[in-house]
């Protein structure tokens, strides 16, 4: 049983040597990853922002069909990262997943450009409002193939980009963790810059100049992103795939259930299957005391569970300590993950009801120019960018001068709490603004309130600060606290949290609409006129949920966050302190 270790030992002697120094990685490599991500986001966000308009104007699809196609495509883009993470972790690694996904996105965007440029790929233009030729099955097939390739590209790019960037830093050191924190902030900053360009310049060209040119620009951006990514090939640290996290998690669950009758609480004197790291794994996983009932999956209950080479005879009955700790880390982080989801619910309101508010307000600037309602989406991005610049350039240097022995950064717990507070403030401000807008419109008897649309800027800016504090913190938490082999999976889970927030928002809208309309009362939501609704009450309801989320985090979830940090530090010490291991021997 050469791979079995006693419960008092956290690893073997072979795992104690620190990983060899490598000249690659770091910021020299990350700049190419950030460049790839910036141009990719500039291209993809221009499609997201204007796809419904393209389907409606070029394919003559009605509003309902256009919205359904968009929602299905958008949902697929959020689910695809789970499969992309599986492929990267199991088969080809993050580098090739990013490369192939970028190529798939280029082909998909190129296909959409062809549909805009070749008249044979789209139906004839409408003659009036009623006579609109519908697209043929062949034309729809070409369109869906382009959108499908973009889904494939999204599946690999979303979970792997951040994870591959994180691989370039040694997060076992304080400097490495600080660098990763800066990387996450710069990733979001460049994402915001790309989104600003996509929402203003590219979308304007698509709508007012030419769909061909408007799609050719993002196609060129995808091509440029591939070139930039390949330029850094020799600098990247490439972590070889260690196997599917999904499969490992299922194996641990099955093994735990099979050994349900064993006494998992008493681990003293028990043997655990803890093989030395293989491949690119530089360290073993230290067995933790949390969720002890899962430890039974790694307990060697009978010598027959190992073969003559010390390997499990049945991987669905005996798992390694590393596999067990992976499942523990997933379960342990769920309370904080839920906190992030409920923060995003408030943020999501600005993408829908916030735009509806803008439609029914005074959008005039001067005698001729009207602010497009969708431009309100620029406010959160600007607010996020301003905060990151202030935080990185002013706040951190000042705090480092004041506290010379500290990093000067806000703790993760502080950032989460600020994010929750921002989500509450965003909804309260939005409710007060809506009440003022509605009262003004009713007073003047008009569909549009004479109040300027600029009054919406504070609530949109607050939604950007929710992202700055809660989203960045959640992304960092998943990347740092989970094992290195799970970083791609962490990226997929981050995007899954955004998807879950959208689904919960839809559910919340249905519940509020139904409950508020009981007993013959007018529903708070519904129809096409906000003046007949009570959107402010809906906002206050979400603010109340935000307050509950703050109480939940303060009294419950934050303890899991603190324990996760403590566990990470203890694991690093266990794998780099030979004296600690010798005590167990």
Q: What backbone phi and psi angles, to 5 degrees, belong to 136?
A: -80, 170
Residue with tokens 């091509």: 223
Q: Which residue positions in the chain have pLDDT lower than 70?
A: 1-23, 62-68, 71, 128-130, 262-270, 277-285, 404-405, 483-485, 487-488, 527-528, 562-585
Looking only at the bridges linking them, the beta strands covering 369-370 and 449-452 are unpaired
H-assigned helices in 93-168: 93-117, 137-167
Retrieve residue 520's tokens.
Answer: 């013959």
Distance, in Å, from the CA atom of 315 to the CA atom of 198, rounded to the nearest integer, reads: 48
Distance, in Å, from the CA atom of 237 to the CA atom of 164, rounded to the nearest integer, reads: 8
Closest CA to 375 of 389, 354, 349, 360: 354
Identify the CATH class of 330-564.
mainly alpha
Q: What is the pLDDT of residue 405?
A: 55
Q: Count Cβ atoms below 10 Å from residue 257 Cβ, excluding itself.
A: 10
Burial class of residue 476 in the structure, from the number of CB atoms within 10 Å of its CB (0-12 exposed, 13-18 middle, 19+ buried): buried
Residues 6+ apart with CB under 8 A from 445: none
Is domain 23-236 annotated with CATH 1.20.1250.20? yes
Q: What is the pLDDT of residue 71?
A: 63
Would the CATH topology of 23-236 be identical to that of 330-564?
yes
Looking only at the bridges linking them, the beta strands covering 361-362 and 449-452 are parallel
DSSP sequence for 286-333: PPPSTTGGGGGGGB--SGGGB-TTS-BS-TTT---HHHHHHHHHHHHH
Retrieve residue 145's tokens.
Answer: 């193939």
- Helices 93-117, 26-58: crossing angle, 10 deg rounding: 30
Residues 6+ apart with CB under 8 A from 93: 238, 239, 240, 241
Q: What is the pLDDT of residue 585?
A: 24
Distance, in Å, from the CA atom of 367 to the CA atom of 348, rounded to the nearest integer, reads: 33
Q: Hey, where are the domains in the chain?
A: 4-18+242-319, 23-236, 330-564
Taking the CA atoms of 525, 553, 420 and 179 in sequence, report the sign of the dihedral they define: negative
Q: Count Cβ atoms below 10 Å from residue 217 Cβ, excluding itself.
A: 20
pTM of the complete model: 0.71
């Amino acid at each position: 049983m050469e791979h079995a270790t006693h419960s008092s030992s956290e690893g073997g002697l072979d795992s104690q040597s620190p990983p060899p120094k490598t000249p690659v990685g770091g910021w020299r490599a990350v700049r190419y990853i950030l460049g790839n991500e910036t141009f990719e986001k500039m291209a993809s966000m221009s499609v997201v922002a204007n796809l419904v308009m393209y389907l409606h104007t070029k394919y003559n699809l009605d509003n309902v069909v256009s919205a359904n196609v968009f929602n299905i495509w958008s949902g697929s883009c959020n689910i695809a990262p789970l499969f992309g993470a599986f492929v990267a972790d199991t088969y080809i690694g993050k580098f090739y997943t990013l490369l192939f996904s970028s190529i798939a996105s280029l082909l998909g965007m190129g296909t959409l450009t062809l549909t805009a440029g070749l008249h044979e790929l789209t139906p004839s233009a409408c003659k009036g409002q009623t006579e609109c030729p519908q697209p043929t099955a062949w034309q729809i097939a070409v369109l869906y193939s382009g959108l499908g390739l973009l889904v494939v590209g999204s599946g690999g790019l979303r979970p792997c980009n951040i994870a591959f960037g994180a691989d370039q830093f040694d997060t076992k050191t304080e400097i490495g963790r600080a660098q990763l924190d800066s990387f996450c902030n710069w990733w979001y900053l460049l994402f915001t810059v790309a989104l600003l360009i996509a929402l203003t310049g590219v979308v304007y060209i698509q709508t007012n100049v030419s769909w061909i040119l408007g799609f050719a620009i993002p196609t060129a951006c995808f091509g440029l992103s591939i070139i930039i990514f390949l330029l850094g090939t020799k600098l990247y640290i490439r972590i070889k795939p260690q196997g599917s996290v999904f499969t490992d998690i299922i194996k641990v669950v099955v093994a735990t259930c099979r050994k349900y009758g064993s006494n998992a609480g008493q681990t003293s004197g028990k043997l655990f299957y803890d093989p030395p790291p293989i491949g690119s794994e530089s360290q073993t996983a230290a067995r933790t005391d949390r969720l002890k009932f899962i430890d039974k999956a790694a307990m060697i209950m009978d010598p027959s569970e190992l073969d003559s080479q010390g390997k499990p005879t049945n991987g669905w009955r005996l798992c390694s300590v590393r596999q067990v700790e992976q499942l523990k880390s997933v379960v342990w982080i769920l309370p904080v993950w839920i906190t992030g989801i409920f923060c995003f619910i408030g943020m999501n309101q600005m993408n829908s009801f916030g735009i509806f508010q803008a439609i029914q307000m005074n959008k005039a600037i001067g005698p001729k120019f009207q602010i497009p309602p969708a431009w309100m989406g620029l406010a959160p991005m600007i607010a996020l960018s301003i905060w990151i610049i202030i935080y990185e350039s002013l706040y951190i240097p000042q705090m480092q001068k004041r506290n010379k022995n500290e990093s000067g950064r806000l703790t993760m717990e502080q950032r989460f709490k600020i994010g929750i507070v921002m989500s509450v403030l965003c909804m309260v401000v939005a409710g007060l603004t809506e009440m003022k807008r509605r009262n003004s419109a009713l007073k003047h008897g008009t569909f549009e309130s004479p109040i300027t649309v600029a009054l919406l800027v504070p609530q949109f800016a607050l939604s950007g600060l929710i992202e700055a504090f809660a989203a960045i913190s959640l992304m960092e938490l998943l990347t740092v606290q989970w094992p290195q082999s799970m970083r791609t999976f962490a990226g997929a889970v981050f995007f899954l949290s955004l998807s879950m927030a959208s689904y919960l928002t839809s559910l919340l809208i249905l519940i509020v609409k139904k409950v508020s309309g009981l007993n013959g009362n007018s529903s708070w939501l519904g129809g096409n006129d906000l003046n007949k609704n009570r959107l402010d009450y809906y906002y206050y309801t979400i603010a109340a949920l935000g307050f509950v989320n703050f109480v939940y985090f303060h009294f419950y979830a934050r303890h899991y966050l603190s324990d996760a940090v403590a566990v990470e530090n203890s694991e690093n010490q266990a794998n780099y302190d030979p004296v600690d291991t010798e005590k167990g021997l």
